[in-house]
Structure 1
Amino acid sequence: MGKRKTQHLEGVSNGALDFSDLTMTRKASFAGDSPQEIPTLSVNHLTNMSTAFSPINKEMRSTPLDANAHEDSHDNKTSAPSPDDVSSTKRRIIIDLLIQCFGFLLLFTAYQSLQNLQSSINRARNLGLTSLAVLYGSLIPAGPFLAPVAMRYFGLKWTITGSMVTYMIFTIANYWSEFYTVIPASVLLGVGAACLWAANGAYLTRLATRYALVTGQNKAATISLFFGIFFGIFQTSQIWGNLISSLVLQQGAADQGAPSAANVSSCGAANCPGGGAGNLVIPPYSLRVTLISIYLVCGILAVLIMALFSDREAGKGIFSCLKTSKPRKNLSSGDDGQARGSEDDQDETSSDCKHLCERFLAAWKFMFREKRMMLLIPLIMYGTMEQALNVAIFTQAFVGCTLGIHWIGWVMICFGVCDAISALLVGRLRKWIPRQVLFGTAAVLNLALMIEMLTVKPHPSLTVLFFVHAGLWGVADGIWQTQINSLYGVLFPGQQEVAFPMDGFWGAVSYTISFAYGGYLCADVKIAILLALLVVSMATYGVVELMEKRRLEKNGETPEDATEIKENTTPE
């Protein structure tokens, strides 16, 4: 096998293979602690495959995320850009960031509210939960294998755009909710979601890295800022999507009448598959068509925004229509010859499968070698299963069953608002509040809310309680999703390319399990399972923190010292 060309342009985000929410919304933030050095891979394969085709503006060279890529930086010095160039570049980067934010906002305005309704509108034959289980099951193989290939061959822009189309197909399938339409669409969406979130993480990191290079700001802080802005805007999709569903489904509420207290005996923790549906009445087909049509228009607009207005340079892949015929230079050796560049491209293409397998195996070896990663598995699983409980159980067994399907949107709006605010605030509060306190706060909130779900009997007169419950769950979810992701930057600096695939893998497994048993177990059993997992995850997380504390004490470091060392040194 020929020598593999090592190009280090814009790196893949620490959250590049982040699949935890479909909701798929693992918020990426970076805390200020940094642990021991772990032997790294010789080449960041995912970085090469996803971004080797993305040159930065002519006046500057990119700064890679992988510290190993600094080895050739001294040979590529350029003159400082003028203030006008800096201002223009900053403005273009911010515009690209906002385009990305609002493209995803439109797409998930449609998808997340449709997902929230799956267990209700497709309750017959357990189609809704089955489709979600199949969807997340498809993520498991697609994440580590198909996503890097798609990013390399089609570029970040077209990977994102094409993946968005799979969400539109899933929306269209819900016009005719049958197993032969929804299940194939779920498989396709699972593959598309894996590619979408991998490319999104790479794209956001690309923008943040460029911005940090232009402004001279701290790279890790800039990446955290960009992800915070993205997810702060993105999470409002819960508001707009559920507002749409509430306004549309409200039209059928008058025919159903007020929720009856006599129908709620089978609601809440007592709700079981095949049991009574309480006050949950499937809306007329005409309202369903109206709702899905609105969601489809949102998806079309999202695709058009990304295709027409996102960064053109991020669309350059091997099969991209934007790819020029000029061979790329061999940046690792500094050669300008076309023959050498073409030969390296062939070598790189022919060895893609091998490197993907190597990277996949490296991630598993890393997990079994690194005890802290294994101890984090219960926490990773809890961070996804608590979302699944909210999406599938709370919306259907509690809100829909007690108040009616038209109330689900209103309650989930409250969840979305609190989740978005929590995600934005936590990243800033982290400067003053230890992450252990934040994790403890989220755990106490979820513990109290699950006890409330098990003990309080739902009743139409307790409508306010549903909103309070959703809001507090949103606060906890904002903490879980930001802080779980930040742990990888803290505990495994320089190893995120193998840590995040494990996060994506276990997140997809957790979602699949949750939705798979969702159609067979009663609500109280599902809540009890999650409650037990919360206790286990907090215990194993506590062990991880103790191991990290002892490591820092042994090395005579503080968290700030470790961060400073990692920011200013390059491993040999």
Structure 2
Amino acid sequence: MTLGTILMCFICKTNDKEKVSEDSSVSFCSAVASRLNSVILPLLDMRMLLVIPLIAYSGLQQAFVWASYTKDIVNPTLGEAGVGGAMAVYGAFDAICSLAAGRLTSGLRSITVIVCGGAFFQALIFLWLLLKYSATSGVLGVIYPLLMAAFLGIGDGVLNTQLSALLALLFKHDTEGAFAQLKVWQSSAIAVVFFLSPVVTLQTMVEIMVGAISVSLVSFLFLTLKVEKAFSSHQVTNM
């Protein structure tokens, strides 16, 4: 990762090749400064600060599935052999929902409705795990983990498409910096879950997920209200 970061600093756009300075140290410093600006400047935008909780949650829920869900829910009931099948169900619903959500996306309002729908499916699973779920045997012992995989896959498919659409809509003039933030916060959240997973119980992890989804949704809805209000004010001014 360090080597890749260093090499990226030497990448120049094709139409700028003739303008590259002969002094490599100067060009290197300017490249580093440009990269830092693309990472730091979006953090000065209130819209980005409001969408970061949702970005971080998208990473948390992915890592939860890969780490806690497979270890504490699938493995005790279906065994190691069942992990592949559960993840296949998760991946199938993830892919189908990604395609469907992408087709239905038309603007901020559709993004809001779709994101809330996906979050609702995942919230149901977290509340189920938090309040009532217990491992069972027989047919239900097989159905429950697969049903959870389907619902979690729906939520992930929604977030995969709608976060990209949201960032492209809000940050048309700096999509590179916006998508850099997407990967930074997603990866950081994934790392947090993998560090915590071995040392915390499933109950604690689910409580963290409930808190994360609540904060991210409140922040996201506040963002949509703020953007809609700004858009409405702009229309009134133009009239």
TM (norm. structure 2) is 0.87
The yes-or-no answer on 1:405 pairing with 2:84 is no
In structure 2, C-alpha distance between the alignment counterparts of 1:546 and 1:347, rounded to whole Å: 49
Query: Which residue does the alignment assign to 2:156?
Result: 477
For the 8 Å contact 2:51–2:220, the answer to whether it is kept is yes
In structure 1, the residue matched to 2:230 is 551
Give per-residue Cα distances to partners, 1:306-365, cap 9 Å, x unaligned: xxxxxxxxxxx9xxxxxxxxxx9xx57xxxxxxx94x83635785134322332134213
Describe the SS at the equivalent of 1:434: helix
Residues in 2 aligned to 1:439 and 1:503: alpha-carbon distance in whole angstroms:
16
Query: Which 5+ residue runs of structure 1 have no aligned equivalent?
Result: 1-137, 154-316, 318-327, 333-339, 558-572
For residue 134 of structure 2, give the secondary structure of its aligned residue in structure 1: coil
Structure holding more helix per residue = 2
CA distance in 1, matches of 2:76, 2:167: 39
Q: Deviations over 1:101-150 (max 9, x none)?
A: xxxxxxxxxxxxxxxxxxxxxxxxxxxxxxxxxxxxx6xx677x346248
Instruction: Work out which of the residue numbers 433, 441, 456 in structure 1 matches 2:133.
Output: 456
CA contact (8 A) 1:364 1:502 kept: no
Q: Which moved more, 1:475-484 or 1:433-442?
A: 433-442
Q: CA deviation at 1:447?
A: 0.7
Q: Which has the larger radius of gyration?
A: 1
Match of 2:185? 506
Closer/same/farther in 2, CA of residues 373 and 347 from structure 1, 3 Å limit? same
Q: TM-score, normalised by structure 1?
A: 0.38
Q: CA deviation at 1:430?
A: 1.7
Do 1:423 and 1:479's aligned partners in 2 also have CA atoms closer than 8 Å? yes
The CA distance in 2 between the partners of 1:527 and 1:344, in whole Å, is 52
Kindly tell me the number of residue pairs found equivalent between the two proteins: 232
Aligned to 2:8: 148
1:472/1:142 Cα in 2 relative to 1: closer, same or farther (>3 Å)? farther
Pairwise CA distance, 1:396 = 1.0
3-state DSSP class of the match of 2:22?
A: helix
1:385 aligned partner: 60
Q: Flag structure 2 segments of 5+ consecutive residues without an equivalent.
A: none
- Partner SS for 1:416: helix
Contact 2:119 2:213 in 1 (8 A): yes
SS of residue in 1 equivalent to 2:42 = helix
Match for residue 147 of structure 2? 468
2:57–2:212 Cα contact (<8 Å) kept: yes
Hey, what's the Cα distance between the residues in 1 that align with 2:199 and 2:157? 29
The residue aligned with 2:33 is: 357
Q: 4+ residue runs of structure 1 moved beyond 4 angstroms?
A: 347-350
Please point out which of 70, 77, 83 is paired with 1:395: 70
Query: Quick one: percent identity of the two aligned structures?
Result: 22
The one-letter amino acid of 2:55's match is I
Q: Is the 8 A contact 1:403 1:460 kept in 2?
A: no
Partner of 1:520: 199
Which of 351, 357, 374 does residue 49 from structure 2 map onto? 374
Paired AA for residue 65 in structure 2: N
Equivalence for 2:120: 444
Decide which of 531, 543, 551 is 2:210's aligned counterpart. 531
1:71-470 alignment, distance < 5 Å: 145-146=5-6, 148-149=8-9, 152=11, 341=18, 344=20, 346-347=22-23, 350-367=26-43, 369-431=44-106, 434-454=110-130, 455-461=132-138, 462-470=141-149
